[in-house]
Amino acid sequence: MHYIIRLKGLLSFTLLALILTGCGVSTAEKRFEGDPKKPLATPQVVADRPKIVAFGDSLTAGFGLTEKESYPYLLQEKLKTEGYDYEVVNAGISGDTSLGGTERIDWVLEQENVQILILELGANDLLRRLPVDRMKRNLAQIIEKAKAKNVKILLCGMLAPPSVGAEYQRAYISAFPDLADQYKVEFLPFLLENIALNRNLNQADGIHPNAEGAKIMTENIYKSLRPMLAK
């Protein structure tokens, strides 16, 4: 496996997330009951500019944050500062699973001039104990559809705690780097690195980054995204 994931100290984050699902996931599911095609926050879209689509769940949508605090908005500002002329589209849906992603990826990719897809899905599959092989197939389907349209992909990984069982944990943790290797896409091993378990960087539910945490998450993404950008 090409990518080395820092497991020690990070697995406890996902364990904490599982403990707090009564607070975090139930709220996310309630938000998900609305229009599944409508992101939480969508920056103004300019058709003739190259687009980066932030495609994911509540971490992408900006759960508990204002639009200007969400990572897609912050990424847009970062790109402007660095001299990149991209339009960042927030296609995050709170509570979304990998299956939900397959059901709306075609609609997302229909937008004009999509050049990069930031794929951040799988955490809700874990929280609901959905089969890893099914999640992997769903993510593969999304990747294949994006690649068929010559869209570059940045795949964001997630971790699983020991409490899910050794076999499930191994399968889940390896699914993301395996997909990155198989499809030769850019890979961010852990989206919430330097954020997880830090009370000062997370909301009260202990799962979702607060405004300061979202800034760090944006920097994590930008580091992996930067080699994919063109000025």
Per-residue pLDDT tens over the stretch 155-209: 999 988 888 999 999 999 999 999 999 999 999 999 999 998 899 999 999 889 9
pLDDT for 68-118, tens place per residue? 999 999 999 999 999 999 999 999 999 999 999 999 999 999 999 999 999
208 in catalytic set: yes
205 in catalytic set: yes
* Active-site choice (57, 58, 94, 174): 58
Model confidence at 16: pLDDT above 50: no
Dihedral sign for Cα 177, 214, 153, 79, please. negative
Q: What is the mean pLDDT of residues 34-42?
A: 43
Q: How far apart are CA 184 and CA 177, in angstroms?
A: 10
Dihedral angle of Cα 203, 204, 208, 214, to the nearest 10 degrees: 10
Domain ranges of the chain: 11-228
Q: How many CB atoms lie within 10 A of CB 158?
A: 25
pLDDT > 90: what percent of the chain?
A: 74
Model confidence at 28: pLDDT above 50: no
pLDDT at 11: 45
Q: What is the mean pLDDT of residues 8-26?
A: 41
Specify the residue for token string 């937008």.
Answer: 111
Identity of the residue numbered 58: S
* Active-site choice (57, 70, 174, 208): 208
Model confidence at 154: pLDDT above 80: yes
pLDDT at 160: 86
pLDDT band for position 47 (cuts 50, 70, 90):
low
CATH superfamily of 11-228: SGNH hydrolase (3.40.50.1110)
94 in catalytic set: no
pLDDT > 70: what percent of the chain?
A: 79
pLDDT for 137-147, tens place per residue? 999 999 999 99
Query: What is the DSSP secondary-structure string of 131-195?
Result: -HHHHHHHHHHHHHHHHHTT-EEEEEP----GGG-HHHHHHHHHHHHHHHHHHT-EEES-TTTTT
